[in-house]
Structure 1
Amino acid sequence: MKRRSRRLIGFTLAAILLVLTACSNNKGNNAQSPVQSSEASGTASTPSSPTASETNGMNADGKYDPPITLTTVKPQEITVKFTDGDSMENNVWTRAYEEKYGIKVKTLWSVDPSQYAQKMNLTIVSGEIPDFFRATATQFKQLADADLLADLTDVYAKQATDSVKSLLTEEGNLALDSATIDGKLMGIPFTTPSREGAQALYVRTDWLKKLNLPEPKTMEDVYKISEAFTTQDPDNNGKQDTYGLAVDKDFILLTGFFNSFHAYPGSFASNLVNFFLKDSSGNLTSGTIQPEVKAALGKLQQLFKAKQIDPEFGAKDTTKVYEMISNGKIGMMYGPYYTPLFPLQGGKDKDPSMEWKAFPIFSVDSTPAKSQTVLGVDGYWVVKKGVEHPEAILKMLDFWNETFYKNTSDEIQRKFNSSEDGNQIWLLNNIAAYKAFKNVDESRRIIAALDSKDTSKLNAEEKGVYEKILKFQKGDQTNWGWAQIFSKGGTMSISDYYRQNDLYVTDEFTTAPLDSMVEKQPVLTKLHAETFTKIILGLAPVDEFDNFTKKWLELGGSEVLADVNKWYKTKK
Structure 2
Amino acid sequence: MSRKKIANTVLVSLLGTVMVIAGCSKSDPQGEGQPGSGKGSTEINIMTVFFTPEPPGEDDMTKKEIENKTNTKLKISWVSSNNYDDKTNVTLASGDIPELMLILDPYSPQVKTMAAQGAFWDLTPFIKDYKNLSSFPAQSWQNTSINGKSYGIPRVRPLDGSGNFPLVRKDWLDKLGLKTPANMNQMYEVMKAFTEKDPDGNGKNDTIGLTGLVTSDGMGSFVWVENVMNGSNGRWKEKDGKLADTVFDPGTREALVWLNKAYKDGIIAPDFPTLKQSQVREMITTNKAGIFADAIKPSWLLTGQMRKTNPQADMMPLTYLEGPSGKYVPKDSGAYGMYVIPKTVPEAKLRSILQFMDYGATQEGWMLASYGFQGVHYTEKDGVITPTEQAVKDNVGVFVHLFANLDKYERAYQTGIPLDFLNRNKQIIDERAKYSVSSPAVGLNSETYIKVGKDYDKKIQDLKVKIILGREPITAWDDYVGKLKSDAQYQQIITEINNDYKKRNPK
TM-score class, shorter: 0.7 to 0.9
- Tell me if the contact between 1:67 and 1:102 (Cα under 8 Å) persists in the aligned partners: yes
Residue 179 of structure 1 deviates from its aligned partner by 4.5
User: Which residue of 83, 86, 89 corresponds with 1:118?
Assistant: 86
Q: What is the DSSP-based 3-state SS (H/G/I as helix, E as strand, rest coil) of the residue aligned with 1:195? A: coil
User: Which residue of 426, 431, 434 corresponds with 1:497?
Assistant: 431
2:65 paired residue number? 96
Q: What is the DSSP-based 3-state SS (H/G/I as helix, E as strand, rest coil) of the residue aligned with 1:559? A: helix
The answer for unaligned runs of 5 or more in structure 2 is 1-6, 17-24, 379-385
CA distance in 2, matches of 1:540, 1:67: 68
Deviations 1:62-109 (A, max 9, x none): 336333322122212217785xxxx1x4424432343233321112x3
1:74 paired residue number? 48
Residues 1:110 and 1:374: Cα distance change in structure 2 (over 3 Å):
same
Number of residue pairs matched by the alignment: 470
1:134 paired residue number? 102
Aligned pairs (5 A) from 1:195-210: 195-198=160-163, 200-210=165-175
Aligned pairs (5 A) from 1:382-531: 382-388=340-346, 389-402=349-362, 403-404=364-365, 412=373, 419-421=387-389, 423=392, 425-429=396-400, 431-435=402-406, 437-439=408-410, 479=416, 481-483=417-419, 485-487=421-423, 490-499=424-433, 501=434, 503-511=435-443, 513-531=445-463
1:538 paired residue number? 470
Q: Does 1:380 align with 2:354?
A: no
Residue 118 of structure 1 deviates from its aligned partner by 1.5
CA distance in 2, matches of 1:378, 1:320: 27
Residues 1:484 and 1:14: Cα distance change in structure 2 (over 3 Å):
farther
CA distance in 1, matches of 2:149, 2:175: 61
User: Which residue of 288, 300, 303 corresponds with 1:329?
Assistant: 288
Residue 255 of structure 1 deviates from its aligned partner by 3.7
- Tell me if the contact between 2:169 and 2:291 (Cα under 8 Å) persists in the aligned partners: yes
CA distance in 1, matches of 2:83, 2:96: 18
CA distance in 1, matches of 2:233, 2:141: 25
Q: Does 1:191 align with 2:156?
A: yes
Residue 485 of structure 1 deviates from its aligned partner by 4.0
Give the aligned residue type for 2:478. D
CA distance in 1, matches of 2:79, 2:457: 30
User: Which residue of 222, 225, 245 corresponds with 1:286?
Assistant: 245
Deviations 1:304-344 (A, max 9, x none): 00111111111002211111111110012233211223333
TM-score by length of structure 1 reads: 0.73
Q: What is the DSSP-based 3-state SS (H/G/I as helix, E as strand, rest coil) of the residue aligned with 1:349? A: coil
1:358 paired residue number? 317
1:256 paired residue number? 224
CA distance in 2, matches of 1:208, 1:183: 47
Residues 1:387 and 1:13: Cα distance change in structure 2 (over 3 Å):
closer
- Tell me if the contact between 1:164 and 1:398 (Cα under 8 Å) persists in the aligned partners: yes
CA distance in 2, matches of 1:18, 1:293: 43
Q: What is the DSSP-based 3-state SS (H/G/I as helix, E as strand, rest coil) of the residue aligned with 1:196? A: coil
CA distance in 1, matches of 2:10, 2:75: 30
- Tell me if the contact between 1:233 and 1:239 (Cα under 8 Å) persists in the aligned partners: yes
Residues 1:394 and 1:419: Cα distance change in structure 2 (over 3 Å):
farther
Deviations 1:261-295 (A, max 9, x none): 234364xxxxxxxx32112x321122343211111
Deviations 1:240-276 (A, max 9, x none): 321111221234332433333234364xxxxxxxx32
Give the aligned residue type for 1:393. I
Q: What is the DSSP-based 3-state SS (H/G/I as helix, E as strand, rest coil) of the residue aligned with 1:130? A: coil
CA distance in 2, matches of 1:434, 1:410: 13
CA distance in 1, matches of 2:315, 2:197: 18
Deviations 1:389-422 (A, max 9, x none): 1123322222222225589x99855678884235
Residues 1:96 and 1:142: Cα distance change in structure 2 (over 3 Å):
farther
2:383 paired residue number? none
- What value does the CA root-mean-square deviation take over the aligned residues? 3.5
Give the aligned residue type for 2:403. A
Higher mean alpha-carbon deviation, 236-245 vs 532-541, is at: 236-245
- Tell me if the contact between 1:73 and 1:130 (Cα under 8 Å) persists in the aligned partners: yes
CA distance in 1, matches of 2:203, 2:140: 54
CA distance in 1, matches of 2:179, 2:207: 19
TM-score by length of structure 2 reads: 0.81
Q: What is the DSSP-based 3-state SS (H/G/I as helix, E as strand, rest coil) of the residue aligned with 2:307? A: helix
CA distance in 2, matches of 1:497, 1:151: 36
Residue 11 of structure 1 deviates from its aligned partner by 8.0
Aligned pairs (5 A) from 1:53-72: 62-63=36-37, 65-72=39-46
Aligned pairs (5 A) from 1:133-282: 133-135=101-103, 136-137=105-106, 138=108, 139-158=110-129, 160=130, 162-166=131-135, 168=136, 170=137, 172=138, 174-181=139-146, 184-198=149-163, 200-250=165-215, 251-264=219-232, 266=234, 275-279=235-239, 281-282=240-241
Higher mean alpha-carbon deviation, 96-105 vs 422-431, is at: 422-431
CA distance in 1, matches of 2:402, 2:149: 21
CA distance in 2, matches of 1:383, 1:416: 32
2:503 paired residue number? 570
Higher mean alpha-carbon deviation, 391-400 vs 256-265, is at: 256-265
Q: What is the DSSP-based 3-state SS (H/G/I as helix, E as strand, rest coil) of the residue aligned with 2:322? A: coil
Residues 1:426 and 1:397: Cα distance change in structure 2 (over 3 Å):
farther
Q: What is the DSSP-based 3-state SS (H/G/I as helix, E as strand, rest coil) of the residue aligned with 1:521? A: helix
CA distance in 2, matches of 1:511, 1:260: 22
